[in-house]
Chain A
Amino acid sequence: MTTFALLLITGLGLGALYFLIAAGLSLIWGLMRVLNFAHGAFFTVAAYAGWWASGLASGASPEVQWIVAVVVAVVVGGLFATLTEVVLVRPLYARHVGQVLVTVGLALATISLVQGGFGSDPKTLQLPGWMTNTTTIVGANIPNTRLLVIVIAALVFGLLLFFLRRTRFGLIVRAGVENRAMVQALGIDVQRAFTLVFAIGGMAAGLAGMLAGTYYGTIDPGRGTSMLIFAFIVVIIGGLGSVTGSALAAIVVGVLQQFLNFYGAAGVGDFSVVLLLAVVLLVRPGGFSGASG
């Protein structure tokens, strides 16, 4: 039971990180049909920006440092994503493959630049004391960072749902995912919704970058890319364009990965996630949410 609880909550924490990356990807794809490879770059750059900012605030208490890091990461992620949309993606409007290629180029260039500037060794994050402690739940000592990541991702999920269901922009985004041509025909400026969705996705990715740093205790240039691939899998399994689907799929993928990596040999969990993807595609090509892929 102890191991079960530990694996379950660790898996949920991992799923929470996947969700934060996948939610933005899913919305961007749903609205703009852009497969955003630069999402891993947002994640990485924001994490490094947060790490750097927390170094600047080194006089303050660890809690303040951590909050500064998170805020900076979210802001940098959002700004970077907005810039990417305006400068690189927008000029290629209606050239979907071109848009994907540009984000690929950006991802390659940015991540190698981060690697060149900061080195490929992991950087340790200064965490507040209570985060490095554990909480006992049904006999298992759960690291507090896992719980923190889960709580924050749940909050973001709630905020995103509120945004999508209760605000005017959210309405436009949902309508755009459903039928973009119709929204445009009604005279609504979808372009602004594109930028907004990119900005939100970038902020979530930035948050994920910093939270992944908190979860693992370190940040490094390669993690963004490897998490991005699992986030892609989450997006497809969850159904492209659906935030709720992404959340469900993220939980399934994260928990499955943890359990199988523990009970099977190392890497079995990662491998099974890909198999799960194949099975889902064969049985239900639209993913959980059933949206047409």
Chain B
Amino acid sequence: MTPRVRIALAVVLVVLVALPAIGFAVPGVFEGALNAPGTLNLLGLCFVFGALALTYDLVFGYVGLLSFGHALYFATGVYTTAIALTRWHWSLPAALALTAVVSLVLPLILGAVCLRMRDIPFAMVTLAFAQAGSILVMQNPLGLTGGEEGLALGGGVLPASLIGVANTRNLYWIALVLLLVVYAIGWLAVNSPAGRVWQAIRENERRVSVLGLNPYLYKLGAFVLSAFLASATGVVYLLLQGGANPQVTTADFTLALLVMVVLGGVGTLWGAVLGGIVYEYLDFRLVALANTGTVQSLPGVLRVPLSEPLFLLGVLFIVLVLFVPGGLGGLLRRRIAS
């Protein structure tokens, strides 16, 4: 990292921390002023998805495990906390403690089963388990998950400082801290001795086992760490959204994660973060774009595709996979290098 990049990053960080105090607007980029609750909420969600994409990149980009079930662990964070808070009326710390336990035990069990398979069969098995989770949430067992309607946090279950439009900036800061903490843990993990083994497994698993290491245990470790961090991002997502919706359990959600990571650049932490942020921002802004008069007045052939963010993102994704294998991160890096 060159000194100039380092200074630029420090400036960006200071601006992000101080953002809730900055009152001017950036027309075209955000609808309201930078410190408007709507903008802060969107940015908070962007940070959450940046962090979530990073956790996915830990298993996909660093260990080479193509998991199609990552949504399950994000949803574990969202739903465990939401159920403990709204159904059992636990306090926030107790709910978080329970979530932490569940988010460690669940991936440990499921990972132990899934990792018996490799490559594509592994992908299919993780997908199947995530689908089971999705079915479970949709079926609303014992009235816990709220089925298709999800769970709203409502009043009285959270500390006052986390509720209300005026306190959006607190949530924004929490999301920013989450991103920084997840990034730090991710960085430490991939640069640790275990992290080097992960990358060795990605390159050549058989060689790792010939060297006398047990790839299974390393993969399980990466799987559990990534899932646990994903659950943590799920908790912050729950706070930002003020409720749980079953959308986050679906296979489409995992596929969106995959799009984020590939969009940003597989196998780099900041690339994944960038991908997550850009994806969430585009997903949100493209909906706004679709509702503008210009798009609405177009003939159907153009209007329909432009009104579907997922269509545009899917096409962008295909183009990136075909022509820009390094993703946006790869493009940027080449820019900086040249």
Contact = CB atoms under 8 A, between A and B. Distances in A.
A106 B314 contact: yes
A277 B113 CA distance: 10
Contacts of A111: 310
B135 A270 contact: yes
B149 interface: no
B66 A105 contact: no
Contacts of B310: 108-109, 111-112
A92 B128 CA distance: 26
A97 B66 contact: yes
A102 B309 CA distance: 17
A229 B128 contact: yes
B318 interface: yes
Contact of B128 (A102, A277, A282): A277
Given A232-B127, A271-B135, A274-B128, A101 B321 contact: yes
Which secondary structure dominates where chain B touches chain A? helix
B218 interface: no
A116 B311 contact: yes
B312 to A, nearest CB: 8
B321 A109 contact: no
B79 to A, nearest CB: 16
Contacts of B300: 117
A277 B252 contact: no
A277 B124 CA distance: 10
A77 B267 CA distance: 35
A102 B255 contact: no
A235 B124 contact: yes
Given A108-B259, A282-B113, A113 B321 contact: no
B136 A281 contact: no
B138 A105 contact: no
A108 B313 contact: yes
A115 interface: yes
Contacts of A229: 127-128, 131, 251
A35 interface: yes
A27 interface: no
B318 A35 contact: no
A274 B262 contact: no
Given A236-B121, A265-B139, A277-B125, A117 B318 contact: no
Contacts of B113: 278, 281-282
B88 to A, nearest CB: 22
Interface string B304-333: 110111110111011001100100000000
B21 interface: no
B180 interface: no
Given A117-B304, A236-B125, A112 B116 contact: no
Given A108-B314, A112-B308, A229-B127, A92 B135 contact: no
A266 B139 CA distance: 7
A233 B66 contact: no
Contact of A92 (B141, B317, B322): B322
B97 interface: no
B100 to A, nearest CB: 25
Nearest to A41: B314
Interface string B98-132: 00000000000000010011111101110111011
Contacts of B66: 97, 100
B321 A281 contact: no
Contacts of A108: 252, 255-256, 259, 310-311, 313-314, 317
A271 B131 CA distance: 9
A218 B305 CA distance: 24
Interface string A216-247: 00000000010001001101100010000000
Contact of A88 (B120, B127, B138, B322): B322
A291 B271 CA distance: 38
A27 to B, nearest CB: 14
Given A112-B311, A282-B113, A104 B136 contact: no
B120 A35 contact: yes
B240 interface: no
Contacts of A281: 113, 116-117, 125
Interface string A256-293: 00000000011100110011011001100100000001
Contact of B304 (A98, A113, A235): A113
Contact of A101 (B116, B125, B258): B258
A161 to B, nearest CB: 24
B121 A293 contact: yes
7 contacts: A91-B322, A109-B313, A111-B310, A117-B304, A225-B251, A233-B124, A274-B132
